[in-house]
Amino acid sequence: AGLAPVARDSGMRSPPRRIAGGRPVIRSLLYLAGLQASRRDPAFAAFRARLEAAGKRPKQAIIAVARKLLTVLNAMLRDAKDYATANP
């Protein structure tokens, strides 16, 4: 889906990781879904708040939520179960 951080290190140079690869349309949809999940679902909102409190920038936290959402969606498909909101 293109949400994994890609290292572009060279020697001693280690810039911040960027997301790359995958399909841009899927990545955009997952970003928007992560944004809404972090606003409306208590578990994802708590995850985003914890990341931002630890110093992550807002967009980095939303991408992390999108990756977590993708993991949850894959597990739902694997187990053939509906989503149930976790209590924070």
Q: How many helices (H) and strands (E) does the chain have?
A: 3, 2
> What per-residue confidence (pLDDT) applies to 1?
75
pLDDT at residue 71 greater than cutoff 70: yes
Share of the chain above pLDDT 70, in %: 81
Strand partners, 6: 18
More confident residue, 42 or 86: 42
Q: Predicted confidence band at 86 (pLDDT cuts at 50, 70, 90)? A: low
39-48: average pLDDT: 94
d(CA 78, CA 62): 24
11-19: average pLDDT: 71
Q: Predicted confidence band at 88 (pLDDT cuts at 50, 70, 90)? A: very low
